[in-house]
Structure 1
């Protein structure tokens, strides 16, 4: 049996990567602050808060879509079906996109540029350590159907 067919990951890397990236952004801002020219207006806080709400909504919509199809939500479980509707029509990784948008929202709300830098790092590491393995898993389970889905739906946006 193909090792990727059994399950995509042995550990839930994305949650850990985004958690570490968030913690790193907070610690770096404290010890190595990046000066930001800004007024103390409400716009960054409102726009950051709105982006956080959109991110949470996107992630919850994706989880609900996966649960509706009775397939794995956790990245270390084997997929039982290929989900291509709901938020998965627009992006192959709506939950990870939600995590990324949430980090950007926190960066806007707190005016902490380290959140933007750490969001980029989290995207790169998540792609390297999680998404590529998940895609191999889905390819081994669903073959041509997954290839066709990849041709029509982008990985991130």
Structure 2
């Protein structure tokens, strides 16, 4: 494990990457298409992303387990129903959708690199350590769940 593992709360990470995307647009003002097209796409993706995030968080609350992504060792239940039947990480998927919406609004092709950076970071420093901890906590039940449900979609 590295020093970045489970250290930066994912919501803060989304804000950091969104800011970097905006700064990228300021530094390299490349616009692929008209913002009149971009704005509805942004709204759509942010609404979809927000709904996915809330659905995942609600399922955790219903199961009375932690939603704190920096402390996966405090997990008390393996949630596999609801949206978790389709994705193991709906909250991160929702965050990705929100960043995609922001990227559509900025209409800058360079923001794609930052979105890919977000995916890499979340996979490496958040999801993989969470999965290791959940394997230790739930053993074969979590391994079977991973075999039947994809990490993202």
Cα distance in 1, alignment partners of residues 124 and 21 from structure 2? 20
Does structure 2 conserve the Cα–Cα contact (< 8 Å) formed by 1:106 and 1:115? no
CA–CA distance in 1 between the matches of 2:47 and 2:110? Answer: 20
TM-score by length of 1: 0.86
Please point out which of 42, 58, 66 is paired with 1:48. 42
For residue 53 of structure 2, what is the aligned residue in structure 1?
Answer: 59
- Name the counterpart of 2:79: 83
Secondary structure, counterpart of 2:66 in structure 1: coil
**SS of match in other structure, 1:70:** coil
Q: CA deviation at 1:12?
A: 4.0
User: Residue 26 of structure 1 contacts residue 114 of structure 1 at CA under 8 Å; is this kept in 2?
Assistant: no
CA RMSD after TM alignment: 1.6
Residue in 2 that maps onto 1:3: none
Number of equivalenced pairs: 147
Alignment of 1:1-157 (within 5 A): 11-36=7-32, 38-39=33-34, 42-77=36-71, 78-157=74-153
* Gapped regions of structure 2 (runs ≥ 5): none
2: CA distance between counterparts of 1:105 and 1:19? 13
